[in-house]
């Protein structure tokens, strides 16, 4: 006996929007089909070491270091940690390893000799245990007195109650008149050091395109195929020394506290999901106690810049936005209202008429290549991530000027001069809470002006197979490149 289950199909009437065509007669359903599209899961592209990895055996000395077999190491999850086990421990039993678990810290500045702490260098894969430092007694007392006269968050919220113990260590340490202090506990001699699972990999090569991950490494029942529907994001190269030199002063200024505009931008800029950030403070907004962060999420570059990047590529993930909001709320001053949002994107279309050099004016192949080169230049130049004169992204609120477009075009091989340049503005018109359309707004003169909360974006939205027709200038956002002395197919329609 077979069981059939039916479901209702709901049809919604949509109010006609300006610029759309009405139905001549009521639509009729001629058929429909149903198919399963499978399930979706989050994925992280990396190599995963699932079994506990033996790093070495402790010699009982302070400051020991052990190296992981693979690196760079990704940020650890809760089930990835160091376990310091006595000889003969059943390492295949995770519950047993958990009982010998140590805690990872970023540094040993607040660690005493009783704290089971260690640190991991993500880039080199070095596991570091607490060192012993020679500190004169006078320096220890100065540190304690200075801290007691300048309250810190640790004291205010009750996390640190015994300041003598915090700064001078345990009772045993205070009796040590040599001035030596142990930061973090020492693994007992003869104990085995295990890394209980970790993930490694990283770099920009992990930012794979849509449709790249299609191979199942292990077969699973009822799973026929897999594919990544969105590009992978977040992969970045290791920080260079020059970048670290530039970052440290900003960290020293902010100390993870958001007070000035630079502080807010620094904290948000540390997120691996954010490419750029602009802080609008109370002075710019004209609202006392208000700070607004305009963020541009990272986006995977296209395979070919012939169609650019649409604003849909820069949608701020809700989880990322909530996390940034929470981090800023923890660090802002009392009474300051902080809001994280994305800029208002303004679509910019360029219509340019070019005069080619004599050698290019007689070659159809060279004209096709030059037209594509010019389109790539325009899409990358008018872009939030790659645009601007320095290639680091178009400036927030920076106007678009015709002479800048002409200067870019003249650098393309085969271009003799840019005779006519038009700048067309497109704006987003919401239809519902989640949908909208891009509408032609205006043709700018010499300058296309933007407000401080706006950002330039250029992309192609005309289907590649759709032929050109009158009215394309205001229907589609594609850049239009024409050659006045080229073959007919590359000439302006109105020539």
**What are the residue boundaries of the structural domains of the chain, listed by start?**
47-199, 241-341, 344-490
| CATH fold of 241-341 | GMP Synthetase; Chain A, domain 3 (3.30.300)
pTM higher than 0.75:
no
The residue among 310, 413, 304 whose CA lies nearest residue 354 is: 413
pLDDT for the residue numbered 353: 95
C-alpha dihedral sign at 246, 247, 252, 257: positive
Give, in order, the Cα–Cα distances in Å from 262 to each of 175, 316, 328: 45, 21, 13
Q: Enumerate residues 6+ apart whose C-beta is below 8 A from 119.
A: 104, 105, 106, 107, 108, 127, 128
Cα separations in angstroms, 463 against 351, 435, 467: 18, 19, 9
pLDDT tens for the 495 residues of the chain, in order: 445 566 677 777 777 777 677 777 777 777 777 665 677 777 777 889 999 999 999 999 999 999 999 988 988 999 999 999 999 888 888 899 999 999 999 999 889 999 999 999 998 999 999 999 887 665 556 656 655 555 444 444 444 444 444 444 444 444 444 578 899 999 999 999 999 999 998 777 777 778 888 888 788 887 888 888 877 777 766 666 676 666 666 566 655 678 888 888 988 988 888 999 999 987 788 788 889 999 999 988 887 899 999 999 999 988 899 999 999 998 888 888 999 999 999 999 999 999 999 999 999 999 999 999 999 999 999 999 999 999 999 999 999 999 999 999 999 999 999 999 999 999 998 887 777 889 898 887 789 999 999 999 999 998 877 777 766 678 899 999 999 999 998 888 876
Question: How far separated are the first and last CA of the chain, in Å rounded?
Answer: 72
CA 258 from centre of chain: 20
Q: Using an 8 Å Cβ cutoff, are 276 and 384 in contact?
A: yes
Taking phi over 0 as left and psi of -120 to 50 as alpha, with beta for the rest, 163 belongs to alpha
Task: Supply the pLDDT for residue 250.
Answer: 59
Distance CA 487, CA 361 (A): 8
């Amino acid at each position: 006996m077979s069981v059939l289950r039916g479901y209702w199909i709901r049809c919604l009437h949509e109010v006609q929007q300006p610029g759309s065509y009405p139905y001549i007669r009521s639509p009729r359903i001629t058929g429909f089909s149903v198919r399963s599209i499978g399930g979706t899961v989050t994925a992280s592209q990396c190599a995963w070491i699932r079994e506990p990895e033996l790093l070495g055996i402790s010699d009982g000395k302070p400051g020991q270091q052990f190296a992981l077999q693979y690196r760079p190491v990704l940020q650890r999850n809760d089930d990835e940690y160091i376990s310091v086990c006595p000889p003969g421990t059943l390492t295949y039993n995770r519950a047993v390893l958990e009982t010998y678990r140590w805690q990872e810290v970023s540094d040993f500045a607040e660690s005493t000799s009783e704290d089971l702490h260690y640190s991991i260098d993500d880039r080199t894969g070095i596991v570091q245990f607490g060192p012993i430092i020679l500190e004169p007694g006078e320096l220890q007392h100065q540190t304690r007195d200075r801290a007691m006269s300048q309250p810190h968050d640790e004291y205010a919220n009750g996390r640190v109650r015994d300041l003598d113990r915090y700064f001078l260590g345990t009772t045993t340490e205070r009796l040590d008149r040599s001035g030596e202090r142990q930061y973090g506990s020492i693994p007992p001699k003869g104990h085995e050091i295990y890394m209980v699972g970790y993930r490694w990999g990283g770099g920009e090569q992990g930012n794979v395109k849509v449709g790249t991950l299609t191979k199942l490494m292990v077969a699973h029942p009822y799973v026929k195929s897999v594919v990544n529907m969105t590009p992978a994001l977040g992969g970045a190269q290791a920080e260079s020394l020059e970048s670290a030199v530039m970052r440290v002063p900003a960290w020293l200024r902010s100390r993870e506290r958001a007070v000035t505009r630079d502080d807010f931008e620094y904290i948000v800029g540390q997120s691996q999901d954010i490419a750029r950030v602009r802080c609008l403070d109370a002075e710019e907004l004209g609202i006392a106690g208000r700070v607004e962060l305009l963020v541009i999420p990272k986006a995977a570059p296209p395979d070919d810049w012939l169609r650019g990047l649409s604003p849909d590529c820069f949608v701020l993930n809700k989880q990322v936005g909530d996390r940034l909001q929470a981090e800023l709320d923890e660090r802002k001053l009392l009474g300051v209202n902080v809001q994280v949002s994305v800029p208002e994107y303004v679509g910019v279309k360029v219509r340019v008429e070019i005069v080619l050099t004599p050698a290019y004016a007689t070659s159809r192949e060279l004209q096709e290549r030059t037209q594509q080169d010019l389109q790539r230049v325009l899409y990358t130049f008018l872009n939030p991530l790659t645009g601007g004169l320095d290639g680091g992204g178009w400036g927030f609120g920076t106007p678009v000027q015709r002479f800048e477009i002409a200067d870019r075009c003249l650098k393309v091989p085969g271009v003799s001069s840019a005779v006519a340049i038009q700048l067309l503005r497109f704006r987003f018109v919401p239809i519902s809470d989640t949908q909208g359309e891009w509408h032609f707004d205006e043709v700018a003169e010499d300058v296309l002006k933007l407000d401080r909360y706006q950002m330039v974006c250029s992309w192609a939205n005309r289907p590649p197979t759709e032929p050109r027709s009158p009215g394309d200038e205001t229907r589609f956002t594609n850049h239009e490149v024409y050659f006045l002395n080229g073959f007919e197919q590359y000439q302006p329609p109105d020539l």
